[in-house]
Chain A
Amino acid sequence: MTGSAALVTVLVVPLAGAVAALLAGRRGAVAAGLLTSALGVAAAFVLAGAVLAGGMQRVAVGGWAVPLGIELRADGLAAAMLLMTAVIGAGIAVYAWRYFGAAGHHDPHDLAAGPPGPAGKAAPASTQWLFWPVWLLAWGALNALYLSGDLFNLYVTLELLGLAAVALVALAGAGAAAAALRYLLLTLLGSMLYILGVELLYAAHQTMDLLQLRERLQPGLSVWLAAALMTTGLLVKTAIFPLHFWLPPAHGSAPAPVSAALSALVVKAGFYLLARLWLDLFGALPGAGVVPALLGALGACAVLWGGVQALRQTRLKAMIAYSTVAQLGYLMIALLLASGAGGAAAGAAGGAMHAGRDPGLPPTGGFVGKFALVEAAVRAGAWWAVAVVLAGSLLAAAFLFHALSRAFADAPADKTSAEVPAAPQLAALALALVAVALAAAGEPLRRLLTVGAAT
């Protein structure tokens, strides 16, 4: 398979899978979803291999070259994101298979023994299978986003992703309607701000292609206005403090596999765009260094605020939702450090953090990411960032152990019971596996990330 064929395959597989899952209906959706996941992972690996061997891969859609047509490209960063999305997506698919497969399931993650909230109500079984087509659509949108090289195409994929994500939240049933509606309104607001900025840029420069824009970009009021609009829109979508308020209810009321997909993949897409914009496009503007600093400050607030709020929650899913808010804050700090000197290290930190959706304890990817982040911060002399990251990691550890101790204290002491609380044990197993995988993948991943990196 050639590189360009792999690129197209990566894009088409999830979308075709979504259609197949929809057509397969209630019985066959699971099979279609799992099969698509396997194919998607394979295609992502092939593409990553092609990028590693042959550099950036491009496909001009319909044979029309830029600026008339749309070009899809995969550089090292995009290939790495696609690969991680595929691997995490496959994990989510397996998890969802088990989760939705269990008949009459209740949410095992609710620690509070109190009355069930809206999230406690199981989704009506008749609509559960819709998870598969919608999730595959979201995955397809994500892949398209990573492969897009022009601002309008990015808008379309972002919008598609947002709508799919809202649909995923709404799957939880009537109880989640309010959260889903709020999520819908905010994601639309974010897209609107973003497209306004794109219009301004297009009016001034007559192109939407990122590479061409970078060459033609003229500093001016309209560019700054565009940058501000697009950044604000993406901050809403990425749920960066103080625009994060929609995230905890939306994630907290969704079924567990959906929350996992949302916080591990969907919100990070907004961050990816933000990073592309400020590292590749607007970073060259005179005086542009202020913005990453501002974003880093917001990130610091997010780390601390999210950490404190996570500790105050009684439901595990709400805790995880707030810890996602904090994790996104780390990413913003990494963005700031990457825009400065230690680009590679901070970029690696961001990449590793993307892989691990955990409080940053060893031996997980989150831990390595946190370490790289602290190292980059020390190197840059950004002691405030060091302090924030350390404080944030303490908060995260505190909330993790808080949850763990509840599991120990509440565990039934009846030793004849066959049902032992499996969560901590399985978590330990998963951590070990992640450690091994990360150790094995570290070096090739690094080489992949350097392909086509903006200099």
Chain B
Amino acid sequence: MTAQGWVPLAVVASSLLPGLVIFLLPEDRRGLRATLNLAGAFAKLGLVGLMLWNVGRFQEYEARMTVLPGLDLVLRADELSLLFMTLSALLWLLTTVYAIGYLEDSPHRSRFFGFFSLCVSATAGIALAGNLFTLFVFYEILTLVTYPLVIHRGTPAALAAGRTYLLYTLPAGALLLLAVAASQVLTGPQDFVGGGYLKPFVGEHATTLVLLFAALVTGFGVKAALVPLHGWLPLAMVAPAPVSALLHAVAVVKAGAFAIVRVVYEMFGVEFAATLGVLTPLAVLAAVTIVYGSLRALMQDELKKRLAYSTVSQVSYIVLGTALLGPVATIGALVHLVHQGLMKITLFFSAGNYAETLGVHHVSEMDGIGRRMPWTTAAFTVGALGMIGVPPVAGFVSKFYLGAGAALAGQWWAIGVLAVSSLLNAMYFLPVLHRAWFRPPNGPWPHEDGRGRDAKPMLLLPVLLTALFSLGVGVLAAMPWSPLDWAYLIIRREYSGG
């Protein structure tokens, strides 16, 4: 353990400990619970800020514990982990504020916030995992602690969604267990390293390595919702809105995508993966997912379901960028990891505001909602335009780099996929915006909260902030410390080192 090894540990603990304490709190201690949550969230953000500052200056953070001989748990802060870590720390804070407002007076809040914090801790572990075993351990913990959030409401629909979630994630976990154990047998103890570490083993194990790659991508692809492993995601939106927001933007889906990025870049090494011939199938899989998700989104009337299929599609942008060889495509993938999170959480927060304030759950009920809830709808508009890829919102930057990366890699078909997807994105988001802003309301709202105004401040503030961030990271993409700038830093160290 390096002298600074306590910092990554503290990052995980900053949500774990409040979570454990919250479990034991009685329901009515809302003040203490909120204080614990917010203190943990701010502490995490502060620690991540400290690590960002120092890692930018080439300092290393590593904590290592030996579990069995040759089997270490490693938490390490490097450039890539901090990209994901910063996103999750920031969005955890905002989602906590949102969730406190959203779940006011609903039952089982201690249980909810406890598991919510554990979920964030698991995500932090995934972000900071320094080897495959650690990544796998936290990935499985994430499965465990997300399940209670999905079935939180305890309704038959929620329980059914939970069952489906497990039906996908548990076999994936078993497959990963096998893959991780096999890679441990093959290579012995290895840490993630820029440029990968599997190249020396190709001699007599080429087939094994291809199988290993397939098993890892399948296992992680379940959470990343790659078609045909995506079936659980649209059902899981029965969970409360803050859970959906966190699931889609940071925790579960993003964890899968991030794990695939790690595997491709720091286990296999992207160039070695290309020589193995595994990148093209992955790219095709991502392309299929992108188009399929968009098509299904087009058919949904329920707003959250439409957003869920949109997630299926958008997360595969990250996978597509990862699977295209070349630094520019990589930048597109990495930057989209952050951008998609910011935009998607804006959209889910907005959907939650509509449901909570007016009882609006379906696109067909949204006529004229822009005049009734202008702030929420403005934020929703920013998110939707970003998803389509309209400049200067964040999504444009991602799509620009992905397209340029595809061109540089000579994969022109990928540009076609991006174009088709953008068209489909426009087709399923622009009508919503048109309804919201330009059509008159058709009758009274389904279930007004009786305040006659936009959403409650606790619900409105987070969504406005995330919308602002979505705009900001697009407009200020060229500034130092922007996600794009950080992605450049990762690439410089990744491609020059590897």
A residues with a Cβ closer than 8 A to B are 344-345, 348, 352, 361-363, 367-368, 370-372, 374-375, 377-379, 386, 390-391, 393-394, 397-398, 401, 404-405, 408-409, 411, 413-416, 418, 420, 424-426, 428-429, 432, 438-440, 442-443, 446
Shortest Cβ distance from residue B36 to the other chain A in the assembled complex, whole angstroms: 14
Task: Contact check, B24 vs A425: say whether CB atoms are below 8 A apart.
Answer: yes
Task: Across the interface, name the chain B residue whose C-beta is closest to A345.
Answer: B68
Assuming the contacts A371-B71, A425-B24, A439-B73, asked whether A404 and B148 have C-beta atoms less than 8 A apart, the reply is yes
Assuming the contacts A367-B137, A429-B23, asked whether A394 and B110 have C-beta atoms less than 8 A apart, the reply is no
Contact with A along B168-197 (1 / 0, CB 8 A): 001101100110111011000000000000
Considering only residues 132-187 of chain B, those with a C-beta below 8 Å from chain A are 133, 137-138, 140-141, 144-145, 147-148, 151-152, 154, 159, 162-163, 166, 170-171, 173-174, 177-178, 180-182, 184-185
Residues of B within 8 A of A372 (CB): 68, 71
A409-B69 Cα distance, complex, nearest whole Å:
42
**B67 in the interface, Cβ–Cβ < 8 Å?**
yes
**B56 in the interface, Cβ–Cβ < 8 Å?**
no
Residues of A within 8 A of B154 (CB): 408-409, 411, 413
Residues of A within 8 A of B66 (CB): 442-443
Task: Contact check, B144 vs A362: say whether CB atoms are below 8 A apart.
Answer: yes
**B198 in the interface, Cβ–Cβ < 8 Å?**
no
Residues of A within 8 A of B151 (CB): 405, 408-409
A146-B118 Cα distance, complex, nearest whole Å:
39
Task: Contact check, A362 vs B23: say whether CB atoms are below 8 A apart.
Answer: no
Considering only residues 56-70 of chain B, those with a C-beta below 8 Å from chain A are 65-69
A446-B67 Cα distance, complex, nearest whole Å:
10
A425-B112 Cα distance, complex, nearest whole Å:
11
**B111 in the interface, Cβ–Cβ < 8 Å?**
yes
**B26 in the interface, Cβ–Cβ < 8 Å?**
yes
The 8 Å CB contact of A428, one of B23, B133, B166, is B23
Residues of A within 8 A of B108 (CB): 411, 415, 420
Give me the 5 closest cross-chain CB pairs, A-B, nearest first. A425-B23, A415-B107, A374-B181, A375-B181, A390-B174
Shortest Cβ distance from residue B39 to the other chain A in the assembled complex, whole angstroms: 19
Task: Contact check, B144 vs A378: say whether CB atoms are below 8 A apart.
Answer: no
A378-B185 Cα distance, complex, nearest whole Å:
7
Residues of A within 8 A of B332 (CB): none
**B356 in the interface, Cβ–Cβ < 8 Å?**
no
Residues of B within 8 A of A409 (CB): 151, 154, 159
Shortest Cβ distance from residue A388 to the other chain B in the assembled complex, whole angstroms: 12
Assuming the contacts A362-B141, A409-B159, asked whether A401 and B65 have C-beta atoms less than 8 A apart, the reply is no
Task: Contact check, B178 vs A386: say whether CB atoms are below 8 A apart.
Answer: yes
Chain B CB within 10 A, most for which of A362, A398, A414, A440: A362
Shortest Cβ distance from residue B252 to the other chain A in the assembled complex, whole angstroms: 16
Assuming the contacts A404-B147, A405-B159, asked whether A442 and B67 have C-beta atoms less than 8 A apart, the reply is yes
Task: Contact check, A368 vs B174: say whether CB atoms are below 8 A apart.
Answer: no
**B20 in the interface, Cβ–Cβ < 8 Å?**
yes
Task: Contact check, B144 vs A418: say whether CB atoms are below 8 A apart.
Answer: no
The 8 Å CB contact of A401, one of B73, B147, B152, B177, is B147
**B114 in the interface, Cβ–Cβ < 8 Å?**
yes
**B448 in the interface, Cβ–Cβ < 8 Å?**
no
Residues of A within 8 A of B163 (CB): 405
**B485 in the interface, Cβ–Cβ < 8 Å?**
no
Task: Across the interface, name the chain B residue whose C-beta is closest to A414.
Answer: B107
Task: Contact check, B174 vs A393: say whether CB atoms are below 8 A apart.
Answer: yes
Shortest Cβ distance from residue B324 to the other chain A in the assembled complex, whole angstroms: 32
Shortest Cβ distance from residue A406 to the other chain B in the assembled complex, whole angstroms: 9
Chain B CB within 10 A, most for which of A363, A372, A398, A429: A363
Q: List 14 A-B contacts (CB under 8 A).
A: A368-B71, A378-B185, A379-B185, A393-B177, A397-B173, A401-B162, A408-B148, A415-B27, A418-B27, A420-B110, A420-B111, A429-B23, A432-B16, A438-B67
A394-B152 Cα distance, complex, nearest whole Å:
23
Shortest Cβ distance from residue A429 to the other chain B in the assembled complex, whole angstroms: 5
Residues of A within 8 A of B144 (CB): 361-362
Task: Across the interface, name the chain A residue whose C-beta is closest to B139.
Answer: A362
Task: Contact check, B67 vs A439: say whether CB atoms are below 8 A apart.
Answer: yes
Task: Contact check, B185 vs A425: say whether CB atoms are below 8 A apart.
Answer: no
A390-B493 Cα distance, complex, nearest whole Å:
38
Residues of A within 8 A of B111 (CB): 420, 424-425
A344-B71 Cα distance, complex, nearest whole Å:
13
Chain B CB within 10 A, most for which of A345, A370, A425: A425
Task: Across the interface, name the chain B residue whose C-beta is closest to A415.
Answer: B107
The 8 Å CB contact of B69, one of A348, A363, A379, A404, is A348
Task: Contact check, A368 vs B67: say whether CB atoms are below 8 A apart.
Answer: yes
Task: Contact check, B177 vs A370: say whether CB atoms are below 8 A apart.
Answer: yes
Task: Across the interface, name the chain A residue whose C-beta is closest to B125.
Answer: A363
Residues of B within 8 A of A411 (CB): 108, 154
Task: Across the interface, name the chain A residue whose C-beta is closest to B171.
Answer: A394
Not counting A429-B24, A442-B68, a sample of 13 additional A-B residue pairs whose C-beta atoms are within 8 angstroms of each other reads A345-B68, A362-B138, A368-B68, A374-B177, A375-B184, A375-B185, A390-B174, A398-B170, A408-B159, A409-B151, A413-B154, A415-B106, A446-B69
Residues of A within 8 A of B166 (CB): 397-398, 401
Task: Contact check, B137 vs A424: say whether CB atoms are below 8 A apart.
Answer: no
Residues of B within 8 A of A391 (CB): 174
Residues of B within 8 A of A438 (CB): 67
Shortest Cβ distance from residue A375 to the other chain B in the assembled complex, whole angstroms: 4
Shortest Cβ distance from residue B139 to the other chain A in the assembled complex, whole angstroms: 9
Considering only residues 63-94 of chain B, those with a C-beta below 8 Å from chain A are 65-69, 71, 73
Task: Contact check, A371 vs B177: say whether CB atoms are below 8 A apart.
Answer: yes
Task: Contact check, A361 vs B140: say whether CB atoms are below 8 A apart.
Answer: yes
The 8 Å CB contact of A371, one of B106, B171, B181, is B181
A412-B114 Cα distance, complex, nearest whole Å:
18
The 8 Å CB contact of A418, one of B26, B68, B159, is B26
Residues of B within 8 A of A398 (CB): 166, 170
Residues of A within 8 A of B177 (CB): 370-371, 374, 390, 393
Residues of B within 8 A of A404 (CB): 147-148
Residues of A within 8 A of B178 (CB): 374, 378, 386, 390
Shortest Cβ distance from residue A394 to the other chain B in the assembled complex, whole angstroms: 6
A401-B167 Cα distance, complex, nearest whole Å:
11
Residues of B within 8 A of A361 (CB): 140, 144
Task: Contact check, A428 vs B68: say whether CB atoms are below 8 A apart.
Answer: no
Shortest Cβ distance from residue A360 to the other chain B in the assembled complex, whole angstroms: 9
The 8 Å CB contact of B137, one of A345, A362, A378, A446, is A362
Residues of A within 8 A of B118 (CB): 428
Task: Contact check, B114 vs A428: say whether CB atoms are below 8 A apart.
Answer: yes
Shortest Cβ distance from residue A416 to the other chain B in the assembled complex, whole angstroms: 8
Residues of A within 8 A of B23 (CB): 425-426, 428-429
